[in-house]
A and B are shown apart, each in its own frame.
Chain A
Amino acid sequence: MGSNMAEAHPVGFQWIIEAKLRGAKVIHIDPRFTRTSAHADQHVPIRAGTDIAFLGGVVNHILSNDLDFREYVAAYTNAPYLVSESFQDTEDLDGLFSGYDPHTASYDATSWSYANVNSEPHPGHDAKERSDPYQHGARGPFVETADGGIESDPTLQHPRCVFQVLKRHFSRYTPEMVARICGVPEETFLQVCDAWTANSGRERTTSLVYSVGWTQHSVGAQYIRAGSIVQLLTGNIGRPGSGIFALRGHASIQGSTDIPTLFNLLPGYLPMPDTRHETLSDYLDGVRGPEQKGFWGNSDAYMVSLLKEYWGDAATAENDFCFDYMPRINGDHNTYRTAMDMLAGKVHGFFLLGQNPAVGSAHGRLQRLGMANLDWLVVRDLSMIESATVWKDSPEIETGEIVPEKCRTEVFFFPASSHVEKAGTFTQTQRMLQWRDQAVEPIGDRRSELWFFHQLAVRIKERLAGSTDERDRPVLDLAWDYEVEGDEPSPADVLRHINGIDLTTGRTVNGYPELKADGSTACGCWIYSGVYANETNQARRRVSRFDSGPYDAEWGWTWPLNRRILYNRASADPEGRPWSERKKLVWWDEESGQWTGNDTPDFELKKPPHYRAPEGSSGPTALSGSDAFIMMADGKAWLYAPAGLADGPMPTHYEPHESPMRNLLYGQQGSPVRKVYGRPDNPSNPAPPEANSDVFPFVFTAARLTEHHTAGAMSRQLPYLAELQPALFVEVSPELARERGLTHLGWAHVITSRTAVDARVMVTDRMAPLRIDGRVVHQVWMPYHWGSAGLTTGDVVNDLIGVVGDGNVFIQESKVLTCDVQPGQRPRGPALLAYVEEYRQRAGITVETGTRIATAGGHLERAHIEPDEPDDDPPEEAS
């Protein structure tokens, strides 16, 4: 679901083909019939943006028919725990959970907690601005646990236990409702349910694959939660052939979240300090609770080691290990807010590396206008991308919105070396680091990122040398002690530093359990600790699976600690025996008194299954022998999230921000905490209960083609790729083509309240209309790879998309919006602006459209629009 794996991940898809050859059944649930569907046993067309309704239906089907893997659920999930009496569900509040504040469009999650836990109220607005849920990343939030443990009912019968709460929450997601919302006929839906449940249990497992078709929604995080709930109920986490596969969008996007490029994260999913944190202990108290179970209990060791890596000898226990040198965030500095801040003149300089926002980010026009309003812009890329040339060839030149002579941005373009011209690691979907050697020397002035940042640091340090200004200390004190080869650091030595070094011996540590909070270890990313164990580059290992067993244990290196399947303790029953011989992975070996098996056990090696933690313990010690989910604060997988999410403890179907439909399940139309940016330059198409949604009657979704790479900088420039997909096109069904008079290979343009873009028409049986609640709904699809540069050029599809985000992680809702399609080409120049304005008027669009977020109870609450004047207290600059 939400993945076109054959096209976007063709190399990984070889394993789906392999599984199929061995008898696996493949079901592809997707709005379009794609190259993935072509190889599926069943294609299930679905309306974009309704996956939670579908998955909620699956949950309901499982729970109403007692099809869950009961022993697994009772042992490893939080199903038995009781939820607070003050919790109210969407069933009670017309689509909202308890704790909602319509004024700030955020939740106080206090009432979602477990029953016998006393919690202080936590207004959610600030947390939402910092995207706190994202900071919880891999670890989950901490939950307060009462003395004597969390109240529970092992029989799962108590009306307030998670199991029953879940059952009630999803009870209205019936097959009939799924059909009405998703457009999936009841019979088809039940076929999927049957296939899923029949292929799960002791003897069989089912995998779930998703990609950005799931994440890029205003409820993206809850899509994944919904998938997780189904997989937990069916016992499909931590076992061979099970799991949720989050296919990452680029060669090392996994790496770029592990060692993040995000404003609110530090390496290893440690949160970025914010303005509430005066001292290191303030900060650590926010990461781990005092009685918390699990390995986040050791986060002091991870953070202190990170500070030691940054500031070396300058970081001492006396000065809080230089914690004061860390920048603090004070609100939303995500990429879209930053673009808006550029427009507002709050951002002066911008580094752009391996990204082409003028084409590749939602609302390309906003991105380009922002980048045309900087003092300076540094672009490092393989070719002269559209983002480097906004000042002279963006579409806004034609409309007169950017005048090259007057554009103030000074652009510095640096040619970057490609992956074959430098050594380093890629971290892929399976969390595996694979080292690659340098194949050739870079041509001309091309240099690696490592070279660039090393040189930048060295030169800035030189400039600041001798400064007595306090604010220069963080830069001057940076350890920056990498081994240098020529004029750039050794990539292997950088990986050594990421792995971590025992400062008493100078040798690499063997894993994160060896990290210390006393300043005697340094480590650049605790979850990568072990990648340079024994002073050996483990990521460079290339032992074939034919020589190292079925889990390729000696091919590359997987975090954490080379575990190939996360939470694999769950592959054995509570007593430590495999659930079945066929699906064994790790198990307790009584004789040797330790866990063993085909994978590195994701559990303390010598902790027996029957171990019970002593009272009052915390951290790893507090984990019992059957607490398989060792990173969670209660040792359990969460069917219900008592804390940590901005938009509710359980997934709930909300219509997309732009939708042709009223929500059939609740009065609450869209996500009640979605992040809207109500500004004149970011209009929304109206959605019910607002009027005139029929001006943009079609559902729009965009994605990639195999032949091109994201924003096209790496493919439109290459003749062999450009000739394979030589033009931007729009896919429509024969039915829509008839309705709108579109002809195959002719021109059409697609219109939203942001702009209109031209495309050639591809009429195909692969697109089909759906019947949604008795009416026919058409979907259209476009690839988004085109821009003004390269051997094949075209309009920027992302210009159609506005900025609205998931309330948890701020990802933009670019996988579903509404649009109109008309034959022929769009108007050009200033006439285009007038044409789109005419559409906006017809749809009655104002700055308030789409920003009246709360609609539960049948009334529209206030609009969330941005003030005209900048705040008195502007947020810190981000770059």
Chain B
Amino acid sequence: MTRENSFHGPLADPAGEAGHEDHPPRMGFFTDTSVCIGCKACEVACKEWNAVPEDGIELLGMSYDNTGSLGASSWRHVAFIEQQRPLGHQDAGLTDLPVGPSSTETTTEVVAEALEATERGGANLGTAPVDLGFPSFDLPGAGSGVENRTQFRWLMSSDVCKHCTHAGCLDVCPTGALFRTEFGTVVVQQDICNGCGYCVSGCPYGVIDRRPDDGRAWKCTMCYDRLRADMEPACAKACPTDSIQFGPLDELRERADRRLADLHAIGVSEAQLYGRDPEDGVGGDGAFFLLLDDPEVYGFPPDPVVPARDIKSMWQHAGTAAAMMVAASAAVFLGGRRRR
């Protein structure tokens, strides 16, 4: 759509833009978290297929999440969120039970404290509670520590690299280790990576990370080797409920729109798509999600922006400034002449 630059905004053909001719359609993941059962088969299948090492046998106590976050050795991460609010018309069965206040807030604090002391191979984003500085979005009475709990829901969601249309990691990689594949996905070549770590700070989602042992960067490849062999990625293959769906991104977007409409129709009004919109700060994600709450609840940044988005305006501003300086200098000379 916008051929003048490829740093941000909608982009119909990222693979073509990267120089692939006659390439297959852009492939992606649609993760429908409303049918995720939290079995973590995706995490295991990913590690098995890609020989990703174990990265910490320790209890995090974040509900059933002991992975914590995506990282160099966790390319799929299933988040578990225990919440005091209803899921559509679901009846959690708390009515008329002799219950007291919720424990969610206290356990969250305990987990946050424990997490800081935990050595993880991964980045610091994830489902760990982040103080966003907002007033509470919770229902009246929830979490204030005195009212009895009446609502509950348990959300699960499998996170993964977003394979952005405009990938911050790829933009900043100085060695060419990161590249755009013919499927429109973004892959690191470990034999080229020099471990500089620019990509880590370039990723607006906190996905890519370096391994502590040799410092090279690792992340989800959308099973590039399997894709080239016409197989679906290991996580999607293993997912028993088709929460993780793999296919041409166009088809997935249509499917996601239909699913969203269905959920809204049955009263799950909070359902929303995340990363679906080509107009967002990364030009839309190659791996996008259907969420049942705001993104930050799952540990997603609410408004991710590829750092390179501002390159054009930065250069424009710099150019304008330079031009103005030239003009001003010229004016000095010209003005001087006139005066003379």
Contacts and interface: CB of A to CB of B under 8 A. Distances in A.
Interface stretch (B90-98, B167-175, B332-340): B90-98
A792 B57 contact: yes
B39 interface: yes
A763 B98 contact: no
Interface string A731-745: 001110110000111
Contacts of B242: 14, 17
A17 B48 CA distance: 26
Contacts of B107: 744, 763-764
B230 to A, nearest CB: 19
A706 B40 contact: yes
Given A14-B240, A726-B57, A770-B97, A33 B103 contact: no
Interface in B49-73: 53-59, 61, 63-64, 66-67
Contacts of A743: 110
A187 B153 contact: no
B interface, over-half SS: loop
A38 B92 CA distance: 8
B193 interface: no
B101 A768 contact: no
A40 B102 CA distance: 21
Contacts of B54: 719-720, 722-723
A190 B111 CA distance: 39
Contacts of A636: none
A723 B122 CA distance: 14
Interface in A760-787: 760, 762-766, 768-771, 776
Interface stretch (A42-50, A583-591, A603-611): A42-50
A776 B39 contact: no
Contact of A726 (B37, B40, B59, B89): B59
Nearest to B114: A745
A596 B173 CA distance: 66
B94 to A, nearest CB: 6
Contacts of B97: 45, 183, 185, 768-771
Among B44, B47, B57, B67, the most chain A Cβ lie within 10 Å of the Cβ of B57
A11 interface: yes
A753 interface: no
A771 B148 CA distance: 15
Given A745-B59, A763-B107, A771 B98 contact: yes
A845 interface: no
A680 interface: no
Contacts of A776: 98
B219 interface: no
A43 B57 contact: no
B163 interface: no
Nearest to B88: A41
Given A42-B91, A719-B54, A707 B40 contact: yes
Nearest to A737: B103
Given A744-B107, A745-B59, A706 B241 contact: no
B95 A185 contact: yes
A39 interface: yes
A7 B64 CA distance: 12
A41 B89 contact: yes
B55 A769 contact: no
Given A39-B35, A734-B100, A744-B106, A33 B154 contact: yes
Contacts of B301: none
Nearest to A791: B57
A744 B103 contact: yes
B152 A33 contact: yes
B43 interface: yes
A41 B55 contact: no
B149 interface: yes
Interface string A9-44: 011011001000100000000000101011111111
B38 interface: yes
Given A45-B97, A726-B66, A764 B82 contact: yes
A745 B91 contact: no
Interface residues of A, number: 58
A188 B59 CA distance: 36
Contacts of B152: 33, 765-766
A721 interface: yes
A14 B241 contact: yes
Contacts of A719: 53-54, 57
Contacts of B90: 40-43
A760 B110 CA distance: 13
Contact of A764 (B99, B103, B156): B103
Interface in B92-133: 92-104, 106-107, 110-111, 114
A530 to B, nearest CB: 30
A10 B41 contact: yes
A13 B241 contact: yes
A729 B59 contact: yes
Among A7, A10, A38, A760, the most chain B Cβ lie within 10 Å of the Cβ of A38
B61 A735 contact: no
B153 A38 contact: yes
B201 interface: no
B38 A765 contact: no
Contacts of B40: 706-707, 724
Interface in A797-841: none
B84 to A, nearest CB: 7
Contacts of A382: none
Contacts of A729: 59, 61
A769 B98 CA distance: 6
B149 A765 contact: yes
A13 B106 contact: no
Given A42-B90, A720-B44, A725 B66 contact: yes
A41 B156 contact: no
B38 A35 contact: yes
Contact of A11 (B48, B63, B240): B240
Interface of B: 35, 37-41, 43-44, 47-48, 53-59, 61, 63-64, 66-67, 82, 84, 87, 89-104, 106-107, 110-111, 114, 149, 152-156, 240-242
13 contacts: A14-B242, A35-B156, A191-B91, A720-B44, A720-B48, A724-B40, A725-B66, A734-B99, A745-B111, A765-B82, A765-B152, A768-B93, A771-B98
Q: Which 6 A-B pairs have the closest CB atoms?
A: A734-B103, A719-B54, A727-B59, A185-B96, A38-B154, A10-B39
Interface of A: 6-7, 10-11, 13-14, 17, 21, 33, 35, 37-45, 183, 185, 187-188, 191, 705-707, 719-727, 729, 733-735, 737-738, 743-745, 760, 762-766, 768-771, 776, 791-792
